[in-house]
Chain A
Amino acid sequence: MSGNILEVAGLTAGYGQIEVLHGLDFTVANGEIVVILGANGAGKTTTMRAISGMIGRTGSVRFDGNDISTARPDAVLRAGISQVPQGRGTFTDLSVEDNLRAGAYTVKGSTVGDLDRWFEVFPRLLERRDQRAGSLSGGEQQMLAIARAMMNRPKMLLCDEPSLGLAPIITQNLFKILGELRDEMGMALLVVEQNAGLSLKLADRAYVLETGHIVATGTGDELLADDTIKQAYLGGVG
């Protein structure tokens, strides 16, 4: 459990002429859960898309000993990073099973074992195996999005605002599942969130992102205790 699996240095990215990330530095250790906390427009999704190669970026991204700074999305996946995109990104017209099969697109050989395994972890998905993914509830779609990402047999999971649009009780359950992925499989997790209360409890370490800059960092507990953070991201309730 030592060493960093992900090392990001001087990461800049944006859309067209507009730069959104102005040089981010952060790391994720093996088996660590890191949360990047930020408000709307801070650059959370851009950070995710930059790591997974969905948009152009400069700076250095090293993963598991490989330089993936200029890798395309399929190469990032093969290196071992899967992403659960914001808004789930399920293939709504495809069946639940086909969604999972699509998740294993870059995996060579049989994935029947993986399919059985994730159906065991998420029995709800097994019940709805042949249904169109678009007919699932929000919480079920989030499960599907996570299971689909896991079909790629990743070493690290990127989750883009998993709590978005979910009832608090479902978010709690979801974060419990994310914690279990780490505890049982040693999976490293990078989660971006604006929901500070729950996500900081899940996090080993966290960064605070504001308008494309990292402005604070610490353990989850440290940031939870910080007054400025409380006011900005917990509505002062703490």
Chain B
Amino acid sequence: MSLFIQRMFDGLAEGSIYALLALALVVIFRSTGQLNFAQGEIGTLCAFFASTLTLSGLPVWLSILIAMAIGFLIAAFVERVVVRPIEDRNPGAVIVALIGVFLAVNQLSAMFWGVDARALPSLFPTGANDFFRIGGAAIRYERVGIIGVLIVVLLLLYLLFNKTKIGLAMRAVANNQESSNLVGIRVGNILILGWGLAGAIGALSAVMLAPSAALSGTLMLGPFLLASVAAVLGGLDSPVGAVVGGILIGLLKAILIGYVSFLSDMLFPVMLVVLLGVLIFRPSGLFGTEKVVRV
């Protein structure tokens, strides 16, 4: 029983990271209808920056904030310089361009940080005794911290989207760009902001993951695939769905690895089956809006 609780907490924490990354994907998909293939790689690049900053003596929390700011700028840059000019001419080609960005960012981090794994200290205590017990299960503070970060991000996003004028504009642009223009919203600026926001959240997911994984060029490869499945499972246009999907995928992974050992090496094939199942039986996901066309 205690092992089960422990595994569920591990799954929750890992799921929180997928949830953050899936949120980043959904924020962009809602406003532009694009799946940002470079999301994970931008996060990896930001984690490298954070690692270098902590090595130079900056406190971890400050390094993370700067890494998020860098994520914001890179993603905003990608929207303005890559996505928009191409989308105006051929929306279908954007996806190819984003795969290009994926490769470019991936190579860029290899160029500056090499291929050996780096270390990024955690924001939370990770010593041998930094845990508490629930029903005999050892729960590490770091796990709780990561779940806490997700909750804080959700709270801030809720306030942004529902209590501010900028958030209203972001929801309006996601719903109807033409009408947004007509009420005086500068749609281009809001799109840049949305991508930047997603870039910052994606960077946060990477710096949360890096301390317990190897910080190398492939840090976010697996998590990106899992977060994509999570986003589709939850509904690509639903932030709530992204979070629920992320948590579910995290728990599923923990259960698979913990209890179905013969499947633990086949994590991605299993996720592929999940993905196919969602696409066949519930294409709009658990919380996504079904597109109803009124005649």
Q: Which residues of A are at the interface with B, using a C-beta cutoff of 8 A?
A: 52, 54, 73-74, 77-78, 83, 85, 89-94, 98, 101-103, 105-106, 148, 152
The answer to whether A73 touches B182, judged by C-beta atoms less than 8 angstroms apart, is: yes
Q: Which residues of B contact A148 (CB under 8 A)?
A: 183
The answer to whether B178 touches A105, judged by C-beta atoms less than 8 angstroms apart, is: no
Most A-side CB within 10 Å, residue of B165, B168, B178 = B168
What are 14 A-B pairs with beta-carbon distances under 8 A? A54-B181, A73-B182, A74-B186, A83-B182, A92-B175, A93-B289, A94-B171, A98-B168, A102-B168, A103-B183, A105-B168, A105-B169, A105-B183, A152-B184
Q: Smallest CB-CB separation from B185: which chain A residue?
A: A105
For chain B, the count of residues having a C-beta within 8 Å of the partner chain is 18
Q: Which residues of A contact B174 (CB under 8 A)?
A: 93
Known: A101-B168, A152-B183. 8 other contacts (CB 8 A): A91-B171, A92-B176, A94-B171, A101-B165, A102-B172, A105-B168, A105-B185, A148-B183
Q: Which residues of B contact A73 (CB under 8 A)?
A: 181-182, 184
Q: Which residues of A contact B176 (CB under 8 A)?
A: 89-92
Q: Which residues of A contact B184 (CB under 8 A)?
A: 73-74, 77-78, 105-106, 152
Selected from B175, B178, B186, the residue in CB contact (under 8 A) with A94 is B175
Measured CA separation A89–B176 after assembly (Å): 8
Measured CA separation A90–B183 after assembly (Å): 11
Interface status of B212 (Cβ within 8 A of chain A): no
Interface status of B179 (Cβ within 8 A of chain A): yes
Chain B 233-256 interface mask (CB, 8 Å, partner A; 1/0): 000000000000000000000000
Q: Which residues of B contact A77 (CB under 8 A)?
A: 183-184
The answer to whether A85 touches B175, judged by C-beta atoms less than 8 angstroms apart, is: no
Q: Which residues of B are at the interface with A, using a C-beta cutoff of 8 A?
A: 165, 168-169, 171-172, 174-176, 178-186, 289
Q: Smallest CB-CB separation from A77: which chain B residue?
A: B184
Most A-side CB within 10 Å, residue of B171, B178, B181, B183 = B183
The answer to whether A54 touches B172, judged by C-beta atoms less than 8 angstroms apart, is: no
Measured CA separation A52–B176 after assembly (Å): 17
The answer to whether A85 touches B183, judged by C-beta atoms less than 8 angstroms apart, is: no
* Smallest beta-carbon distance B185→chain A, Å: 6
Q: Smallest CB-CB separation from B289: which chain A residue?
A: A93
* Smallest beta-carbon distance A214→chain B, Å: 24
Q: Smallest CB-CB separation from A73: which chain B residue?
A: B181
Measured CA separation A92–B182 after assembly (Å): 15
Q: Which residues of A contact B171 (CB under 8 A)?
A: 91, 93-94, 98
The answer to whether B182 touches A106, judged by C-beta atoms less than 8 angstroms apart, is: no
Q: Which residues of B contact A103 (CB under 8 A)?
A: 183
Known contacts A93-B289, A105-B169; A54/B182 CB under 8 A: yes
Q: Which residues of B contact A91 (CB under 8 A)?
A: 171-172, 175-176, 179
Q: Smallest CB-CB separation from A91: which chain B residue?
A: B175
Measured CA separation A23–B61 after assembly (Å): 61
Q: Which residues of A contact B165 (CB under 8 A)?
A: 101, 105
Measured CA separation A101–B289 after assembly (Å): 23
* Smallest beta-carbon distance B132→chain A, Å: 42
Measured CA separation A103–B186 after assembly (Å): 13
Measured CA separation A89–B172 after assembly (Å): 11
Q: Which residues of A contact B169 (CB under 8 A)?
A: 102, 105
Measured CA separation A74–B289 after assembly (Å): 30
Q: Smallest CB-CB separation from A104: which chain B residue?
A: B183
Q: Which residues of A contact B180 (CB under 8 A)?
A: 102
Known contacts A102-B168, A102-B172, A105-B169; A90/B181 CB under 8 A: no
Q: Smallest CB-CB separation from B176: which chain A residue?
A: A91
The answer to whether B182 touches A85, judged by C-beta atoms less than 8 angstroms apart, is: yes
* Smallest beta-carbon distance A158→chain B, Å: 10
Measured CA separation A73–B169 after assembly (Å): 15
Q: Which residues of B contact A52 (CB under 8 A)?
A: 182
Q: Smallest CB-CB separation from A48: which chain B residue?
A: B182
